């Protein structure tokens, strides 16, 4: 399991089954806002569904296939940041994230991603980290760009969101990019 990652009032940590109610309440509060971009939310209808999701995430982490961390800001759960997929063979991972609507615009997600990226390159020994986000999800794309990821292209109609196929922007970031950004 990942140890706790911290930056000031921000703390990233693994979920425990005891967090299921908090996670469900946060998802439910933001459902209308997030469902446009995160179709998996439709499968989370009650706290028990959040508990199941937390257990799935723990299993995925045990296998080294993913890391899902709660974003705690001033001791309050406000979002999730994760390596949705870890490809150990090719030393790469894909980041996913979402944040409570009321906590946006405070730099929380950028700092959360920085902590996870640092963990990925330094602890998991990744070579490359990727972000894919739907064209039109401007806030998500802006985070990738703010972090210094390179937009490498897009995949046409590669994700089904709300019954329609959408193009997905693809961003990449190498360990050398991270090291260069830290030294400048």
- Which strand (E) or helix (H) includes residue 68? strand 67-73
Pull the structure tokens for residue 117: 């990226």
Task: Write down the pTM of the prediction.
Answer: 0.93
Give the chain's domains with CATH numbers: 5-183 (3.40.630.30)
Residue 75: pLDDT over 70: yes
* Bridge partners for 80 per DSSP: 70, 98
Contacts of 70 (CB under 8 A, 6+ apart): 12, 13, 14, 15, 19, 23, 77, 79, 80
Output the pLDDT for position 43: 80
Q: What is the pLDDT of residues 105-156, one digit of tens each?
A: 999 999 999 999 999 999 999 999 999 999 999 999 999 999 999 999 999 9
- Give me the residue label for tokens 């946060």: 26
Output the pLDDT for position 40: 78
Q: What is the pLDDT of residues 171-183, one digit of tens each?
A: 999 999 999 988 7
Pull the structure tokens for residue 55: 């257990």
Handedness of CA 5, 14, 146, 155 (dihedral sign): positive
- Collapsed DSSP state (helix, strand, coil) of residue 177: helix
Q: What is the pLDDT of residues 39-67, one digit of tens each?
A: 777 788 888 999 999 999 999 999 999 99
């Amino acid at each position: 399991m990942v140890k706790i990652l911290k930056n000031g009032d921000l703390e990233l940590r693994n979920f425990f089954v005891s967090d299921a109610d908090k996670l469900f309440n946060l998802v439910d509060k933001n459902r209308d806002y997030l469902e446009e971009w995160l179709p998996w939310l439709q499968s989370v209808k009650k706290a028990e569904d959040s508990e199941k999701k937390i257990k799935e995430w723990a299993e995925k982490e045990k296998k080294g296939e993913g890391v899902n961390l709660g974003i705690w800001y001033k001791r309050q759960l406000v979002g999730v940041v994760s390596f949705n997929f870890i490809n150990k063979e090719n030393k790469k991972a894909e980041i996913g994230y979402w944040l409570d609507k009321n906590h946006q615009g405070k730099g929380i997600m950028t700092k959360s991603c920085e902590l996870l990226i640092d963990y990925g390159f330094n602890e998991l020994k990744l070579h490359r980290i990727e972000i894919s986000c739907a064209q039109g999800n401007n806030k998500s794309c802006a985070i990738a760009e703010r972090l210094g990821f390179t937009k490498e292209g897009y995949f046409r109609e590669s994700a089904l969101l709300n019954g329609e196929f959408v193009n997905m922007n693809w961003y990449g970031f190498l360990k050398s990019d991270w090291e260069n950004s830290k030294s400048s």
